[in-house]
Amino acid sequence: MKQLKKLALIVLCLVMAMAFLTCKGSGGEQAASGGPLKIYFIPKDSVNPYFYAIDVGFKEAIAELGADKFEYIYTGPATAGPTDQIEYIEAAVQNKAFAVFVSANHDSALNRTFDDARAAGVNVFIMNQDIPGSEDHRDAAIMPASFANVGPLLIELMGQQMGYSGDFAILSATTDAPDQNAWIDGIKQALTDSKYANMNLVTVVYGDDQPEKSTTEMEALLTQYPNLKGVIAPTAAGIPACAKVLQTRRLSGQVKLTGLGLPSTMLEFVKDGTCESFALWNPPYEGYLATYLVDAIANKGYKPTPGSSFEAGKLGTVSVESNGQILTLKDLMVYDASNIDEYAPLF
Ligand code: RAM
């Protein structure tokens, strides 16, 4: 009898272990069974047009690699709150995602959700940025460009426009955004260079990546700082809102404007002189690279470990940095009257 009980216990343990392994391997299994790979892209929020530009790249690569091989889902919260993305990540896990690409709104608030997703066999990637201090909770981070280059470039563009002298402000997105905060730190650091000694950062305000709030914050800046000579808006949702305020108030050229933006939404403001120059990378490349990464993992046994590399179609061989980041590009591009017509139709 005792022997029988022991045997039953062993069988039970084996069954449980198998069930656990099956559950853990849910993402990978899709690859093994040949079903379409479920890729989720969860932007900071679902209404910011910046993320539609990344979406374009996913679709381009999926068309190249075979539409029947993937099931691609673009979904996210209406607002960019620190924990707003949790339910979307959980739904992706429930739906047996192979990989989730998340543009996180906080550097640590999603850690437990990421851990649970990875324990369930889902590949977790941070998209368009990283989660500083929480790198252990993701498999890799797709970076649009080297973040070290953002602050120095934006302060230089602002300096050129405002003659390297006077008060300027920063209009950011949400207060907790890891990317925005990294860039703001970079701007502050670059400002310590003696070249910028006469430039004075008066304040940082937050438009939450929403056109209405960005507009209100920009108007408040102009009222509160009548001597303001410039604004840096490192947000694709914020910079056109700032430009519109300047245009409406007939302040184009008097209060200078630069930052990060989409050429498509900045075209009219470059044309009328409201914004002489701004910067960005190539958002579609990020979605494109992400899809090739999924394909390499699922179909070529690739693991995105530091120092390793994979083939990403037209982007060539792409490697993983020692910190687990994958750079889509190194440098940013500057857009102005000389090239805006070329890029505005693209993104
Ligand atoms: C905003 C978002 C995003 C950033 C772009 C440039 O819309 O904050 O994360 O990369 O702008």
Residue 234: predicted pLDDT: 98
The total of other beta-carbon atoms located within 10 Å of residue 115's CB is 14
Residue 14: predicted pLDDT: 45
Which residue's CA is minimally distant from atom 8 of ligand 1?
A: 235
Distance 236 CA to ligand 1 centre (A): 5
Distance 226 CA to ligand 1 centre (A): 28
The atom number, within ligand 1, closest to the CA of 209 reads 7
User: What is the average pLDDT value for the chain, to the nearest integer?
Assistant: 93
pLDDT tens across 193-235, in order? 999 999 999 999 999 999 999 999 999 999 999 999 999 999 9
Distance 283 CA to ligand 1 centre (A): 10
Tell me how far apart the alpha carbons of residues 174 and 180 are, in angstroms, rounded to a whole number.
8
Contact call for residues 221 and 203 (beta carbons, < 8 A) = yes
Contact call for residues 151 and 190 (beta carbons, < 8 A) = yes
The pLDDT confidence band at residue 15, using thresholds 50, 70 and 90, is very low
The pLDDT confidence band at residue 30, using thresholds 50, 70 and 90, is low
Q: Which of 130, 131, 180, 329 is the best mutation target for the ligand 1 pocket, counting ligand atoms within 8 Å of the beta carbon and taking the most?
A: 180
What residue ranges do the domains of the chain occupy?
Answer: 25-143+283-329, 148-280
List of residues 6+ apart from 214 with CB closer than 8 A:
171, 207, 208, 233, 235, 237, 238, 241, 242
Pocket residues: Cβ below 6 A from ligand 1: 44, 48, 50, 103, 128, 173, 177, 179-180, 209, 235-237, 260
Fold of 148-280: Rossmann fold (3.40.50)
pLDDT at 22 over 90: no
Residue 5: predicted pLDDT: 57
Residue 147: predicted pLDDT: 96
Residue 6: predicted pLDDT: 57
The pLDDT confidence band at residue 21, using thresholds 50, 70 and 90, is very low
The reply to whether 148-280 shares the fold of 25-143+283-329 is yes
The atom number, within ligand 1, closest to the CA of 260 reads 6
- Classify domain 25-143+283-329 by CATH number: 3.40.50.2300
The atom number, within ligand 1, closest to the CA of 144 reads 10
Enter the pTM of the model: 0.90
Tell me how far apart the alpha carbons of residues 258 and 277 are, in angstroms, rounded to a whole number.
6
pLDDT tens across 171-193, in order? 999 999 999 999 999 999 999 99
Q: What is the CA radius of gyration of the chain?
A: 23
The angle subtended at Cα 161 by Cα 156 and Cα 165, nearest 5°, is: 80
pLDDT at 262 over 60: yes
Distance 235 CA to ligand 1 centre (A): 5
Residue 185: predicted pLDDT: 98
